[in-house]
Each structure stands twice: as structure tokens, then as C-alpha cells.
A and B are shown apart, each in its own frame.
Chain A
């Protein structure tokens, strides 16, 4: 019988939640790495028992943990993320130039085919790759070295590279996203990159449709249709039908088009999920109601999904890496909140139950579908 494993990163450790395919009862394992911030835990599509975790604190810096047995045991691997060459500077909050400084790993994206190859999106924004199971890391410096790099400016959460999408048919083709620089694409395995932000409009910028400077919060791709991308920008939900060459807005009837995560149904590439948040000033749900919004039309037309979610006095947020789907039928959808709840839907979002309610603030959720 199939099963689902959720990999949950929180402010105070990691958790592994497992259920059989019914997704009714969950075993909770954790916390792992108690007291450390776990920005992300992710598993290899090529070997689901190979897991990587980003573990950090302000005191002791960055650790990368690796498991070869589905999280039963872990081994610290390489934690040296050295920028290639002379790092140079990027733009600081006040418009002055600021040296690139490594802070932490936000996102780990294992290769689709090789368990030992994994990409790390870091703050200050850069993409690193390991081809030896995380023991050593090499920067793909063509990204940070792009001619616009000096113009990149941190978002409120830092200058973080948080999204790494690998094309399912051509691993040399990848899309990354950076707050607050925008989206970038490579077609040569990371050697060279170019911005793909045409159509994004950000009112916070003096030139609102400039080439870089857009605060992209998250991009999602369904592997069955890799040229269609959905983006939750700081404000605006966006769609591209040409691999990011151009974007158009699909916010439609959302109560707010500000938010962080975005996810796509595993089997219906036009079914998209977002969690609207009131504003960038408040970071709470509109009307104190926690609502996932689902579009079955590839955007523009959205319906509120509320069954099982708190519809009063709710002031949690859902962060950009904290929503995931499984590939069972019906599709499971999962998200974690800053209030420590992890919600699950085993019916594609129609109804929700809280697997746990009192975790530390959830930073990330990944779903593995197991045979």
C-alpha cells in the first residue's frame, strides 16, 4: 500500500510525519536537531530514503544533515558555502552597496535522477551544487555574476534564493527565484543565467516593470507541463505559459493577492493553490479566516477552501516553502503555519484536518509519496 512522508522544518527542529495512503492517521517522529532552525528538509526523487536538511542557528551557523535511511539516522556533511572568486557587492536596504555574505541555506533541491547531486539556494542569494551527497559545495556563480547582480536588493526576509525548479526532461534547464531580485533561468546547467521577469509589475519599484528587483515569493511547476509556471509574487499571482519568458496576472477574484506559497495539483496542472494573506504590512489572513484558495482554471477564478480550517480569530501565516502536494489520487495537499499547525487534505483541498497543532513555527513542508 502506498504511503506519504511529510518532511517538516520548523524554528526549533525537524519532524517526519508518516501515514499510509489513507492519510487518516499520522506517526510523528521528532523533533530532530532540537533547538536549531530547520529551513528545509527535502528528499531525493531518485532515492526517497536519501534526505537532506538545512540546519542553522545565529550562534553556530550552517550545518547540512544527510540521511540515507529515511530520517532514522543522520550525518552532518559539508557546510562550507564559499562564494566563487571575489564576492563583490549587492545593493543594501538603503541603496548602498553591501558585500555578499553567506547567512544560511533556505532551500535544498535534490536532482531528479542522482541522489548524490543536490542544489542549495542560499542567502545572500546564490546557487550551490553538490555532486557528492552534500560533502562539498560549489557555487554556480554565473547566476550571482549576472550583470544585474549589483542591483539585487534583499527582501524583508533577506536576499534569499528560495525556489529551484529543475526541468523534468532537461536537467540543464532550471528556474530559480530570489527575493527581491526576481526569477532567473539557465539552459546550460547553471553556467549562464538570464532574468525572466517580463510582465511582472511591482508598484514598490520606481520603474515598476524593470528587469530585476521583483520580490518573487514562490514559483510552482507541474512536471507534466513544465513550461507553465505559477508564481506567488509579493503582490500578484502570476502565470507563464512559456517557461518564464513572459508573465500575466491571474489573481482574479482572490480576496488578497499577497501571499507566500503556491502549489499545483499533482494530476490536474490547471488546479492551483494559494493562501492569501492580508498585506505585506500585516502578514495575517484576511478577516482572520485561514482560507486556501483553489483555482481549477489555471488562475483568475478562485474558490475558498475552508472546511476544517479556522474561520475566526486566526492570525497565522503560511511561509513560502510550507506547502506541498503528494501524488496519490485524490491528490493530498499539505501546509504548515507559523502557529505550529500542519494541515492535511486528502481530497485535493475540499476538507482539511490538523495533523498537529502545536509544533514550533513551521518553515517548510515537503511531501514524499512512497510505494
Chain B
């Protein structure tokens, strides 16, 4: 038989230069949009309880979004051409949908943040602030929802099979947003808001385990190619323990500020690890190639 030669052992696709910045971008995008949406939903469902904490949440969400946008722009090959993204709207391009959603979302978010700060200074336009919050909900949701689709609608090994990436990232954005809002309310001493958000956080934490599990199932073939069985079990157990069980235990154990902050730190840390591991999949060599190193 002829020797197996040629290019059959090589990966056909090229890896885009998306590295750690994109993992941070995916995290900050979720934190910013999630915080806004969690604050907006809570404020609209129970205004009497959540208005004070929501007024602090919007400026925080704006700062997170600005940092995220800075990362997005700096990751371009030619950052000075960022505005070229706005010359067309292509519904079939998740990046185009995301750019437009983020651009539109930044307007009501800025208005909500500015009006919240003005209200603190005694200049209150409550109706305008509520209007900005309502107007920001749809583009905010779109900004959270596009990211996972962008990272799964492509030809990259692993990414192309991650059917639940979008489901996980959008769900995780809300979970992180709820966690951030919980920390803010605890820091501000808003007892009732903290009590409600603590329960909501527990519910969302359990709910988030579903898309995360489905995402892991999607990625099993890719992980099997890259990691040994033992490594897969270790990482999976670590992510489940540190990202779900520990935050769950800490929140159930005690409603104190320290426990809440601890739970949220664990959650954010693991959320970053998941995004980082995912972004790195196409950059990682298969086992058979690495074994020669």
C-alpha cells in the first residue's frame, strides 16, 4: 500500500487571530448586557424595591460596556476602520447584527446611566429614565444573544459544533447580571432587594447548568481530540464545582456580604475560564500533534 502522505493530517481551516481579548470581550459583554437587563427586569417588575440599586447598576453597566467596546475595537486588524462596520446591515452576519445591536444599545444605556446620575444630583427625569430602560431592553438582549452565534457560526474545529454556545452565553449573561446586581444591592444595604436577588441568583445558577451541560456535550468530540479523558474529567469537575456548586453553597449557607461576594467571584472566574477554554479550541493542537513535542 502507498504511504499515507499529502495534506490529510493537516487542519484545513485557518485560525482567526482571536485570542485572550475575545475571552475578555465575551465576559464583559455578558456582564454589561446582563447587568442592564437584570436591573431593568427587576426595576420594571418591582419598582419600589429595585429603583435605588438599578440607578447604580446602569452607570456600572455603561463602564463595563465601554471597556468591552474598547477591547472589540483594539482586536481589529485596523482599529481606525471600526466605523466601516456601520456602512451596511447584514442580518446574515452575526458580527453585523452584534455591531448594530451594541451601537443602538449604547444610546439608551448612556441615557439611563446619565439620567440615573442626574437623579442622584436632584435633577430627576424619571419618565425619561424609564423610557430609556425600556428602549434598551431589545438591543441589550440582541447584544447578549449575538456573541454565541458569532462564535458558533463558522468553520473552526470545535466552534462549528457548539450548537449551545449562544444559549449558554445569553443565559450566562443574565446570571452574571443578576450576580452583579446582588453584590450592588448587598453593598448598598438594600435588604429586601438582596433577599429577592439571592433567591433569583440560586434559581438562575441551577438553570444555567442546563445550557452549560448541553454545550459540553456539543464540545465532547473536540475535547476528545485535544485532551485526555482524565483532563476532560478534571476540567469538567472543576468548572461544575467552582462555577455552580461553590457559589450555590455559599449563597445557600449565608446571605452575608462576604459570602455573596465570594460566590460571585467564583462564578465570574469560572465564566471567564469557560470562555477562555472555548476561544482557545481552534488554537490548540490535537493530541497526536502535541505528543511529538
> Is A bound to B?
no
Q: Interface residues, chain B, CB within 8 Å of chain A?
A: none
Using a CB–CB cutoff of 8 Å, the interface residues on chain A facing chain B are none
